[in-house]
Amino acid sequence: MIMLLRHSLLLVPVLLFSVLGCLAQSSKNGPKLTWTRSIEVGKGEVVSGERKFPAHVITVFEADGPVAIELWEKDLGPLAKEITGKRPYRAVGVRLPALGEAPLTILATATSDKKNGNAMLSLAYLQNDSTVHADNGAQEKVSRDLAIRLNQALVQTQIDAAQKELAETMEDLTDEQEDHARSQERMSDANTDLEKNANRQSKLQRDIANLQGEISGLERRFAMSNDPKDLKKLTSARKKLAKEEKELSGLMADESKAKGKANKYQEDMTSHSEVSDEHSKSKEELEAMIAELKRKKDAIR
């Protein structure tokens, strides 16, 4: 039982990793989105030590040997006392009502058909470690039903992997949309600051022009009167002009910085929009893939 639990705990992450690898290459190789296969049961053998036992052979499509074994372990787990060993794997205390009331021992091996990208799973049904279970034809049906379940389970891992990728894509899309909104808000604030700056600059420029005219008149007046009162007015006007020219210079510097920020926020918005479009496209493709994979799973009979 401890060994069975260990296999069960390891199954999900290993399967997901394998299928995610398959999905990562989906643009070139797979997964296949339609079911065009036929479920058949062949004849073979399982070698255990020096003995050879007759076996039923089934195909788990789009899988390799280790994945096929993991799927088999997960499917058989609730029905077996324990699953141990390797080459062959040995499930003991298996209760399959279709094959009788007595618990069975099932030996299993899996090979990878690398050319076609499939796995061949060989299953020998035994009464015990040395005696073959009498086959009255029920073993073939049990094996075929198992093949259907394993192929459906394999497609479900493809669906799970695609759904996981879809969830991550939607999260990335939401992040990009939020970043776009923040950049847009910042750009709006920068434009508001630029508008206020421009209005203030415009007023200062008018005031400076008026002060320059006023100073020219005061300079002429003082040159003619040499009156200390006229000098005081001239000095005051010059100080005010210097103050406003300094403020104008600061506003021009602020304007340059604000324009730089606005341009950056515009670039950020463009970048976020482009990435959002990519995520949106990926989202639509993944949703379509998931729908196709669900139809594919339903077609396995």
Helices (H), the chain: 2-24, 65-76, 138-225, 228-299
Is 149 in a helix, a strand, or coil?
A: helix
Angle at 74 between CA 99 and CA 158, to 5 degrees: 120
Strand order in the sheet with 89-94: 42-48, 51-60, 118-126, 104-113, 89-94, 82-85
Same-domain check for residues 42 and 143: yes
Domain boundary among the residues 168, 192, 221 is at: 168
The verdict on residue 178 lying in a domain is: no
Same-domain check for residues 217 and 110: no
The 10s digit of each residue's pLDDT in 179-213 is 999 999 999 999 999 999 999 999 999 999 999 99
Residues 26 and 198: their CA atoms lie apart, in Å, by: 55
Q: In the prediction, which pLDDT does 17 show?
A: 42
Residues 276 and 174: their CA atoms lie apart, in Å, by: 8
Same-domain check for residues 88 and 149: yes
The verdict on residue 174 lying in a domain is: no
Secondary structure letter of residue 87 according to DSSP? S
Same-domain check for residues 30 and 157: yes
Residue 156 amino acid letter: Q
Same-domain check for residues 48 and 143: yes
Domain boundary among the residues 168, 192, 217 is at: 168
The 10s digit of each residue's pLDDT in 220-240 is 999 999 999 989 999 999 999
Select the more confidently predicted residue: 134 or 26. 134
Are the CB atoms for 202 and 242 separated by under 8 Å? no
Same-domain check for residues 237 and 133: no
Q: In the prediction, which pLDDT does 129 show?
A: 84
The 10s digit of each residue's pLDDT in 234-286 is 999 999 999 999 999 999 999 999 999 999 999 999 999 999 999 999 999 99
The verdict on residue 173 lying in a domain is: no
Same-domain check for residues 114 and 195: no
What torsion, rounded to 10 degrees, do the Cα atoms 195, 201, 203, 208 define?
A: 180
Question: At CB < 8 A and 24+ separation, what contacts does 148-152 make?
Answer: 148/39, 148/300, 148/301, 149/75, 150/58, 150/60, 150/68, 150/71, 150/72, 150/75, 150/121, 151/37, 151/39, 151/60, 151/61, 151/300, 152/297, 152/300
Domain boundary among the residues 133, 168, 203 is at: 168
Q: Give the closest residue to 179 by CA, choosing from 283, 281, 267, 261.
A: 267
The verdict on residue 203 lying in a domain is: yes
Same-domain check for residues 269 and 190: yes
The verdict on residue 176 lying in a domain is: no
Same-domain check for residues 10 and 144: yes
Same-domain check for residues 156 and 191: no
The verdict on residue 175 lying in a domain is: no
Strand partners, 57: 42, 122
Question: Scanning the structure block, which residue is given the tokens 């050879």?
Answer: 52
Range of the domain at 30: 2-168
Given a cut of 90, is residue 152 above it in pLDDT? yes
Angle at 95 between CA 77 and CA 141, to 5 degrees: 95
Same-domain check for residues 154 and 265: no
* Total tally of structural domains belonging to the chain: 2
Same-domain check for residues 11 and 152: yes
